[in-house]
């Protein structure tokens, strides 16, 4: 695959939908449509789906409709087409959507940081990033957060992917297929979010080459954020505020009750995938994740610079209006005041 094909897969649909789809109205205004992944990096969504807190916070006037995605670029297309209203998504796709749609979406909260690992097949000779030269490495989707993280790693180690004239073959594959590809030696390594990293380690005997703190910025980087369509925010500010109340409540709950939260997550994963995680897998995955309400903004700024450098975006982006954290700050302030009464 050449660079033109990769850029087309990442950018073309985004730009078209940004121009024509972002003004679409909800077909059913009685629903609040929320996108998410079945990854524990989207822990607030999974816990809140299981215990009904989002529906409770949003109220009886609207029904919450959840839509599952495999990776950020697909969810981004749905956002820009007006098919969903709010989304848990990686910061890489959030950036691309904001830039290419000329600001039709914005980040309103963080969800998690770190939570991704670089692994190699158990019988692989790969011991470090430099050993990826001449190897095939999988990421969930071109242009997503793990893709950007991998390309940052390659750059730091003097490597490039083949589309840029380098020696590392970067390929995209659904998280659920990467285990098969790795065990069948169709790929040599993978950079994936949790719980897929822990699953590869426990179920396929994959070796951790870089743990979550070593992948990028000492683990101090956003891996999931919350975005909203600006037109939805403008039309339904009270719905967004109520959504954030549930989001903040779930963040607090997960932090205060990790074992109960892991049980909630596993119940939801069972419903979604019919494959609940073994306790040791879930425990390992959770140790690599930081649950948070706030995005790590400087890490996202670095992602924007990297996106421009590798050609995913064309111009130096103006991120002035990327965030609207005022509703989140208000919700957190009110939550803290309520606790002191």
For 3-114+221-340, which CATH class?
A: alpha beta
Is the pLDDT score of 96 beyond 70? yes
pLDDT band at 28 (very low <50, low <70, confident <90, very high): low
pLDDT in tens, 301-313: 998 988 888 777 7
pLDDT band at 100 (very low <50, low <70, confident <90, very high): confident
> In the predicted model, what is the mean pLDDT of the chain?
89
**Could you check whether 3-114+221-340 and 116-219 share the same CATH topology?**
yes
- pLDDT in the model for residue 68: 95
What mean pLDDT comes out for the span 251-277?
94
pLDDT band at 1 (very low <50, low <70, confident <90, very high): very low
Question: SS3 sequence, the chain?
Answer: CCHHHHHHHHHHHHHHHHHHCCCCCCCCCCEEEEEEECCHHHHHHHHHHHHCHHHHHHCCCCEEEEEEECCHHHHHHHHHCCCCCEEEECHHHHHHHHHHCCCCEEEEEEEEEECEEEEECCCCCCCCHHHHCCCEEEECCCCCHHHHHHHHHHHHCCCCEHHHCCCEEEEECCHHHHHHHHHCCCCCEEEEECCHHHHHHHHCCCEEEECHHHHCHHHCCEEEEEEEEHHHHHHCHHHHHHHHHHHHHHHHHHHHCHHHHHHHHHHHHHHHHCCCCCHHHHHHHHHCEEECCCCCHHHHHHHHHHHHHHCCCCCCCCCCCCECCHHHHHHHHHHHHHHHC
What mean pLDDT comes out for the span 138-161?
90
Higher local confidence (pLDDT), 315 or 328: 328
pLDDT band at 235 (very low <50, low <70, confident <90, very high): very high
- pLDDT in the model for residue 289: 94
- pLDDT in the model for residue 26: 42
- Provide the CATH topology of domain 116-219: D-Maltodextrin-Binding Protein; domain 2 (3.40.190)
What mean pLDDT comes out for the span 210-227?
94
- pLDDT in the model for residue 341: 62
Q: Give the whole-number percent of the chain exceeding pLDDT 70.
A: 91
- pLDDT in the model for residue 314: 77
What mean pLDDT comes out for the span 72-83?
92
User: In the chain, where are the structural domains located?
Assistant: 3-114+221-340, 116-219
pLDDT in tens, 237-255: 999 999 999 999 999 999 9
pLDDT band at 18 (very low <50, low <70, confident <90, very high): very low
What mean pLDDT comes out for the span 281-297?
95
pTM reported for the whole predicted model? 0.86
pLDDT band at 84 (very low <50, low <70, confident <90, very high): very high
């Amino acid at each position: 695959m050449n660079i033109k094909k990769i850029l087309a897969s990442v950018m073309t649909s985004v730009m078209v939908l940004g121009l024509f789809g972002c003004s679409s109205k909800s077909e059913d205004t009685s629903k609040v449509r929320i996108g998410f992944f079945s990854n524990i990096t989207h822990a607030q969504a999974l816990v809140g789906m299981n215990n009904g807190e989002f529906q409770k916070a949003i109220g009886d006037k609207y029904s919450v409709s959840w839509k599952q995605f495999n990776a950020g670029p697909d969810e981004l297309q749905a956002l820009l087409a007006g098919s969903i209203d709010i989304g848990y998504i990686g910061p890489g796709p959030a950036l691309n959507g904001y830039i290419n749609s000329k600001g039709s979406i914005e980040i309103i909260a963080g969800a998690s940081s770190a939570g991704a690992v670089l692994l190699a097949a158990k019988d692989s000779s790969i011991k470090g990033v430099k050993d990826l030269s001449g190897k095939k490495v999988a990421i969930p989707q071109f242009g997503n957060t793990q893709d950007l993280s991998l390309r940052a790693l390659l750059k730091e180690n003097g490597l490039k992917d083949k589309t840029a004239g380098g020696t590392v073959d970067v390929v995209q594959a659904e998280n659920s297929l990467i285990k098969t590809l790795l065990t069948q030696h169709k790929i040599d390594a993978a950079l994936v979010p949790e719980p897929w990293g822990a699953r590869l380690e426990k179920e396929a005997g994959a070796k951790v080459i870089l743990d979550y703190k070593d992948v990028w910025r000492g683990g101090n980087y956003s891996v999931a954020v919350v975005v909203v369509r600006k037109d939805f925010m403008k039309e339904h500010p009270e719905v967004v505020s109520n959504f954030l109340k549930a989001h903040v409540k779930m963040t607090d709950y997960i932090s205060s009750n990790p074992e109960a939260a892991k049980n909630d997550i596993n119940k939801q994963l069972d419903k979604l995938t019919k494959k609940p995680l073994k306790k040791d897998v879930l425990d390992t995955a959770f140790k690599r994740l930081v649950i948070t309400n706030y995005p790590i903004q400087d890490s996202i700024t670095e992602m924007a610079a990297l996106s421009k450098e590798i050609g995913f975006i064309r111009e130096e982006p103006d991120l002035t209006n990327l965030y609207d954290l005022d509703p989140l700050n208000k919700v957190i302030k009110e939550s803290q005041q309520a606790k002191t009464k």
